[in-house]
A and B are shown apart, each in its own frame.
Chain A
Amino acid sequence: MTEAMTLSAAPPRPVPAGEPVLEVEDLRTYFDTRDGVVKAVDGLSFSLKPGEILGVVGESGCGKSITSLSIMQLVPRPPARFASGAIRFRGRDLLKLGHEEMRRIRGNEISMIFQDPMSSLNPVLTVGDQLTEAVILHQKLGKRAARDRAREMLDLVHIPEPERRLEEYPHQLSGGMRQRVMIAMALGCDPSVLIADEPTTALDVTIQAQILALMEEIRDKLKTAIILITHDLGVVAEMADRVLVMYAGRKVEEADVVELFERPQHPYTRGLMASIPRLTAAEMETAPPRLSEIPGIVPSLNALPPGCTFADRCPHVQDHCRRGYPPLEPKRPGHVAACWESHRLPEWQP
């Protein structure tokens, strides 16, 4: 993974073009709790073009997963509510759709892969049963046709002997195999958007690489737009076209992947990058340096300070940072960040 950090050497990826397939605008997902309103996602906007991979990074509890669940409208309401915003999928605002209409979009137009392949398959149903469910549901295929489609999908995700696998139960598959099945399930109806919520976190490293390669291959083949949610910057560097950094429910920085890794404008992004373990040959000889970290934790989302939410953990904090939340503004071409001090940050040394 660390090798991926030296991105300048990698060939530039073709920039995906076309109308955005998904646009999130000023999304606010609030939770009404006994201790007040928890602003899990607070004014998030981004857009996604066909065939684009958008990496969403941030620590635990910064709103990544709630963002993806909001798009799918899988957040339990109540306690959650959408205080404002729009999620436009091909021009239609998902937040305004009824239950039935939303159900036709889930799994059909927008699919989702979950983190833990160990528990995201139903233990009592065969792989075939679960794979055919979505296509029978959405594409009204017959049993026979759905099975053919399921076999095709297993082929697509490189599962050997698909015919036999269809009859097997989840317990007969390995972790990586299960995640492949999950991906096949998600792709069954040829969705235009795939949301992958930490798809590789529960897998071991060699399998991780295979799954990521598979997702890239699928993007290239099917032109599926992918929202890749992760806390692993290595994965982002390798996969994403564009990166969105979230902190405490807000977007703090967004840029193309190369731009972001070469010139991070937000101290939080820099902190995340500095926390990646790296060993040079020289350091291997002597004692490896202490792994750097971002001190402190994400502030409680129901009691955010008036100023910059990162102020308490920021090494470059100034007094005025605590007075008002910094606006999200372009710092460089195609690169936005929310930081009062970004122009005064030292040159970034990767």
Chain B
Amino acid sequence: MVDRTTAAATETKIQDPPWHRRLVESLGDLREALRRNPTMLFGLVVLGVMAVAAFGAPYFGLPDPMRQAPIERLRDPSAENWFGTDMYGRDLFSRVLHGGQISLMVGLSVAFLATVIGLAIGLVAGFNRRVDAIVMRFMDALMSIPAILLAIALVALWGSSVPNVILALTIPEVPRVVRLVRSVVLMLRDQVFVQAAIACGTSTARILVRHIMPNTIPPLIVQATYICAQAVIFEAYLSFVGAGTPPEVPSWGNIMAEGRRFFFQNFGMILYPGVFLAITVFAINTFGDGLRDSLDPRMQRRV
């Protein structure tokens, strides 16, 4: 993942518009964007639909996702219950839509937190050798633990709640972001424009924030989308093994976990959340790929 994303940063020659201008350009004119970068637009639209479905679910007049009606348990799809009902007679369609809230929230929060924390640490590590030596060994140690195991352990330690899940998924992602940012900073540090800024008498802090940080953003945004996709999967995974969100809260992982025992009675309990999960992750990844294309000038020229 890291290899794919650093490409955007190595291109610091100023033949091309800066990344934020390219981003505005590639989204500014929709028709132009559709022609130049259809994948990004596709991902964005699908994600938008998902977000509206998930966060708009309470306003669609759907049955309460928590309302139990044992008499209607394990129904097949019908006009009333589009995806059928689960073992407590709860409306599956409503539950799946509401479940999207958790997935998207966790995905976005983890991506945001991991990026911000990783950016701060990576900037300092890349610029200060002494900090670098200490911080990077710590990050290496953190990276040596499989992400999902670490997350399960952390949730087990802190108890299952949505904020805890977000934190538990953020921590294993931070080292990857730190590595990425650090490598970009090391590269940028020797760029002439950084030397020129030092020669202008700019302070180290200002150089980091004003001259180096903006140039680390393009690979970071792309990395953030991958982290987001992974966090969505991991959240479902944690919920599935029972180490995620509390069981009464509808989330795709929870619904599938409950569906395990009723696989032969109502296959939809596994199928629908699974399909939603797959589409969401696919959309995030497509969006990320498209974003990378429009942020990396070399990719753009090839198109």
Residues of A at the B interface (CB closer than 8 Å) are 72, 74, 103-108, 111-112, 114-116, 118-125, 133-134, 137-138, 169-171, 178, 182, 185
Contact = CB atoms under 8 A, between A and B. Distances in A.
Interface string B193-233: 10111111111000000110011000000000000000000
A108 B200 CA distance: 7
Contacts of B199: 72, 74, 106-107, 111-112, 114
A116 B13 CA distance: 11
15 contacts: A72-B199, A74-B195, A106-B198, A106-B201, A107-B199, A107-B200, A119-B191, A120-B193, A120-B196, A122-B214, A124-B18, A133-B197, A137-B202, A169-B14, A171-B14
Interface in B1-38: 12-21
B201 A171 contact: no
B134 interface: no
B192 interface: yes
- In this complex, the interface size class of chain B, counting residues with CB under 8 Å from chain A, is 20 to 34
Contacts of B215: 122-124
Contacts of B16: 123, 171
A114 B196 contact: yes
A123 B10 CA distance: 12
A122 B193 CA distance: 5
A133 B18 contact: no
Given A114-B195, A171-B18, A122 B211 contact: yes
A123 B18 contact: yes
Given A137-B202, A185-B200, A114 B192 contact: yes
Contact of A121 (B14, B21, B198): B14
Nearest to B16: A171
A107 B206 CA distance: 15
A273 B202 CA distance: 40
Contacts of B214: 122, 124-125
The 7 closest A-B pairs by CB, nearest first: A107-B200, A107-B201, A106-B201, A124-B18, A123-B14, A170-B14, A120-B192
Contacts of A123: 12-14, 16, 18, 193, 215
B200 A106 contact: yes
A115 B201 CA distance: 18
Nearest to B199: A112
Nearest to B215: A124
Contacts of B195: 74, 114, 120
A119 B200 contact: no
A83 B197 CA distance: 27
Contacts of B198: 74, 106
A134 B202 CA distance: 7
B66 to A, nearest CB: 48
A193 to B, nearest CB: 12
B89 to A, nearest CB: 56
A123 B21 CA distance: 11
Contacts of B15: 118, 171
A178 to B, nearest CB: 8
A134 B200 contact: yes
A299 B132 CA distance: 36
A190 to B, nearest CB: 14
A133 B202 contact: yes
B192 to A, nearest CB: 4
Contacts of B13: 118-119, 123
Interface in B57-105: none
Contacts of A105: 201
Contact of A138 (B20, B196, B201): B201
A185 B214 CA distance: 20
Contacts of A133: 197, 200, 202, 210
Nearest to B214: A124
A133 B210 CA distance: 10
A106 B19 CA distance: 30
Contacts of A116: 192
A108 B16 CA distance: 31
Nearest to A170: B14
B17 A137 contact: no
B201 A122 contact: no
B32 to A, nearest CB: 19
Contacts of A171: 14-18
A228 B17 CA distance: 32
A107 B195 CA distance: 12
A133 B196 CA distance: 12
Contacts of A74: 195, 198-199
Contacts of B211: 122, 125
Contacts of A182: 196
